[in-house]
Amino acid sequence: MNYGPEYGEDQAPAYFILNLSAGYDFPLGDCCRSALLKAGLEIVLDRNYFTYANWNNPPRKRRSIFINPKANYLK
């Protein structure tokens, strides 16, 4: 990718991001209702990194976890 020094961007070193997630769909009895539970871990390796488009190279977010519940109610 190209960066623009005139916009405060500079070249960033290469980086690798590893995210993991898994989910399970729970049926709720009839054919059209279910609940989905998804959980994951972002930035598994917990390394500092920045992108070329960030002015002054602030570090990006570190390791985080998430849990997403979702319910489907179709008739």
pLDDT class of 52 with cuts at 50, 70, 90: low
Instruction: State the burial class of residue 39 (Cβ atoms within 10 Å of its Cβ: 0-12, 13-18, 19+).
Output: middle
pTM: 0.62
The residue type of 23 is G
Each domain of the chain, given as residue ranges in start order, spans 5-73
Mean pLDDT of 24-28: 88
Mean pLDDT of 37-61: 79
